[in-house]
Amino acid sequence: MKQDPLIPEIGVVTDIRTDTPDVKTFRVVGLDGKKPFTHIPGQCAMLSVPGVGEALFSITSSPTQTEYLEFSIKKCGCVTDWLHAMEPGRQITIRGPYGNGFPVDTDFAGKDLLFIAGGIGLAPLHSVINYCRHYRSRYGAIDIVYGSRSMEDLVDYPEILNEWSREDGIRVHLTIDREQPEWDGHVGFVPNYVRELAPDTARTVVMCGPPVMIKFTLAALMDLGFDRTSIYTTMELRMKCALGKCGRCNIGTKYVCKDGPVFRFDQLDELPDEY
Amino acid sequence: MKQIAKTELDTLFAAITAEQKLYIPADDSAGQAQFTLWRPGLALSGRLNTARSAKDLFFPQVENLVGFRMHAGAIERVETREEPEDFVIFGVRACDCRSFSILDRVFLSEPVDTFYQMRRAHATVVTLACTRPEETCFCAAMGVDAADPAGDVTCWLEDGTLLWRANTEKGEALTEKLPMLRPCPADAADAQQARTRALMQKLPLAKLDLSAFGAGKTRALFDRPEWASLSEACLGCGTCTFVCPTCQCYDVEEFRDGSSVRRFRCWDSCMYSDFTKMSAGQPRPTQRERFRQRFLHKLVYFPENNDGVFGCVGCGRCLAKCPIHMNIVKVIKTLGVTHA
Ligand code: SF4
Ligand code: SF4
Ligand code: FES
């Protein structure tokens, strides 16, 4: 009998990195020490701690990372509390990958890209940004606008500073909500910063972050003259099966776990406003 | 076509039971019909349909998925699945039989739900045509022919005789093991079928107009103001979803006992307030949104994703069981009136 898709594999957490006061990044391999499965940027996996619960997380590492999967996880509830308290070397369960992922090899190919993220919203974008960096020649200019509450809340700050911003053709625009003594960068909310930067409307935009940020940034992009067909985002709803069967995560006719989590705004416009 | 006298049903049931498990509709102590494991002397219910639907046998209310044993940071996965024995489910009505094909579209589409698939594979479905439909039945409006149900075998009860027609290989295989079934003319059920079909047309809900529903109707129906009054009295009890043969939402939960964990799934309901609740928000904050989800799923979302097939079979259970007398027919009638 084929293994049921609801039954997970055992995985090992080999490394835990503290990114911010409430975000840690977990490195996961299978029991054989290898990467549990291959994925597309933007896809997710179900992680669980038996006895505590199972939850869906976006895969933060790029598919081009061949040795392991990584997940940047914010502490917010049972499963994440437990993960944050654990020591490296412990086992968890993992199943996936789930969802559609970003059209990195089709719609994004050859385009100038603009990534906009707020807080932990960088997690799903991290995978696609590193994928685009790996296949750099396939994409045009890359701009990354990333904002958080404070310096300490910027996820992957060292990597952004030491790798992303040093590469040709990549521009990183960081912002934090309030002034801080050690900070000499931009201060202000992401939507306003996007307005100030006034990016070229020919860009394909990938946006991820808290709902308010999405709402106001979308308004800013519309005012700047962007087309909704070239703006992508990821949705997050409560999930249990991640297989399109438990009936929990639909927005109208679409199941976020199966038909999403990546949607273009013109696709979201077609769906009822229930998210 | 085969036949057997109704007085010999016990012999027939005993012969089936000799090979595999048999479930038939029988009255429980509360006088409600339920699919019950047959034992000598258990009589076929005279009621039209079972209180709970036949889905229980393929998608049980609670089902173990897998177990885990936890030892100092390590996890051992424990198989909890039990391969079911072959079984026969006798007396399934046309509506419930149609519900299996709806559940199949959910559970047998990729990635296949192997728990459901396994039960389906082990089952032989023997349906029973209706002769005395009730006022709450609207299967005909949903395109179900109560006089000629599908299934591996179709049966008709007529003047003290059970007529038996095998439809599939599984049905043929079962029939071969039952020598007490005697041949009879192929048209033996025709007269009954004609009578039942005429009767169905006279039912109060036979002409239920579904033209306002189906694929592509989300936009027209989603913001209709009537959802507020329709859902106003809904208790969010989930009775309608539990008795419904096509409702298939489930939850995955765990039971922990020391270092062992059992992960199981159980029925859930979109009518419940915590169904979509997240720490970050709630896309369906009031009963209005949950109520709308249940009916739009059956009448619009499901058909849109499944070749136009409605996610309701017209069994009428939700009409009979809702404590506040709300139901899908009222929803269809209220929203079916289109405003110019
Ligand atoms: S419609 Fe009726 S049965 Fe369904 S949840 Fe509401 S009150 Fe309960
Ligand atoms: S919605 Fe009501 S009438 Fe339709 S299949 Fe479900 S219980 Fe039966
Ligand atoms: S999480 Fe179960 S249907 Fe999407």
Find the ligand nearest to B318 CA.
2
Which listed ligand is nearest to A256 at the C-alpha? 3
| Structural domain A9-98, CATH architecture | Beta Barrel (2.40)
B22 pLDDT band, cuts 50/70/90, is very high
Ligand 1 pocket: which residues have CB below 6 Å?
A: B 234-240, 271, 322-324, 326
> Which chain A residue has its CA at the smallest distance from B108's CA?
A245
Check residue B283 and give its pLDDT: 86
Contact A63, A36 (CB under 8 A): no
pLDDT tens digit sequence for B308-332: 999 999 999 999 999 999 999 999 9
Task: Tell whether B77 is within 8 A of chain A (Cβ).
Answer: yes
Closest residue in B to A243 (Cα–Cα): B111
Question: Where in chain A do CATH 2.40.30.10 domains reside?
Answer: 9-98
Amino acid occupying residue B160: G
pLDDT over 90 percentage in chain B? 87
Domain locations in chain B? 2-54+83-202, 218-246+271-335
Q: What is the dihedral of CA B270, B274, B278, B283, to 10 degrees?
A: 50
On the question of pLDDT at B60 being above 80, the answer is yes
Does the pLDDT value for residue B172 go beyond 50?
yes
List CB contacts (< 8 A) between A10 and chain B: 75, 77
Ranges of CATH 3.40.50.80 domains, chain A: 113-234
CB contact under 8 A, A1 and B107: no
pLDDT in tens, A178-221: 999 999 999 999 999 999 999 999 999 999 999 899 999 999 99
Residue B11 clears pLDDT 90, i.e. is over it = yes
- pTM for the whole thing? 0.93
User: What number of other Cβ atoms are within 10 A of residue A268's Cβ?
Assistant: 19
B278 contacts A238? CB cut-off 8 A: yes
pLDDT at position A16 is 97
Q: Which CATH number fits domain A113-234: 3.30.70.100, 1.10.274.30, 3.40.50.80, 3.50.50.60?
A: 3.40.50.80
ipTM exceeding cut-off 0.95 for this assembly:
no
Q: Which element (helix H / strand E) includes A217?
A: helix A211-224
User: Is the pLDDT assigned to residue B37 strictly greater than 90?
Assistant: yes
Of B159, B188, B187, B165, which Cα lies nearest the Cα of B178? Answer: B165
User: Residue A89: phi, psi to the nearest 5?
Assistant: 100, -15
CA angle A115, A116, A122 (to 5 degrees): 90
What pLDDT is stored for residue B339 in this prediction? 52
Question: Which protein residue's CA is at the shortest distance from atom 2 of ligand 2?
Answer: B318
Is the pLDDT confidence value at B338 over 80? no
Give the percent of chain B with pLDDT over 70: 99
Q: How far apart are CA A146 and CA A188, in angstroms?
A: 11
- Provide the pLDDT confidence category of residue B340 given band limits of 50, 70 and 90: very low
H or E stretch including B91?
strand B87-92
Using 50 as the pLDDT threshold, list the residues of chain A that sit under it.
none
